[in-house]
Amino acid sequence: MGFGEVDGRDSRAEILDPRELVGLKASVVSTIVDDEDDVAALQIGLVVGAFAVFTVWTDWTLRVERRADDEIPDYRWPADGYRRVPLLPDIPERGVEIVSVEVETDDSGARVGVRIEFPEQWISVRSFGGELALVVD
């Protein structure tokens, strides 16, 4: 199944190589924050109808998931303790292209960071000490 093909019967996440996002268009880019405004995840909604979620996993690696829905992932519990905050608020209706994706790994080859290029800015997301660090430049 290609990135844009979503099985509507199953919204469970699949692990994603973030480089598969290159050339696709984002329709929404948001952070998922907790009640204390700490960033728990980056969520990118795609024009094709799928979503990519970037979060720090239990082993402190950066997990990237392909999801069929925009729900708060069920491992963020309770769901009402989290909310979405728009990160790129002025995305045109036709979307904005993901120009490139750079993946950062640690000495063992585990993914710990991703840098995503949009036409006018970059978003860097990284696992840092078990927390998600996010920078927009």
> Using an 8 Å Cβ cutoff, are 63 and 57 in contact?
yes
Query: Any idea where the domains of the chain sit in the sequence?
Result: 14-136
The reported pTM is 0.90
How confident is the model over 47-56, as a mean pLDDT? 96
Bridge-based pairing state of the strands 96-97 and 25-34: antiparallel
In this predicted model, what pLDDT tens digit does every residue of 7-49 receive, in sequence order?
Answer: 444 456 899 999 999 999 999 999 999 999 999 999 999 999 9
Q: Is residue 79 pLDDT above 90, yes or no?
A: no
First to last CA, the chain: 33
What is the pLDDT at residue 9?
Answer: 40
Residue 17 makes CB contacts below 8 A (sequence gap 6+) with 64
> Using an 8 Å Cβ cutoff, are 66 and 52 in contact?
yes
Q: Three-state SS for 48?
A: coil
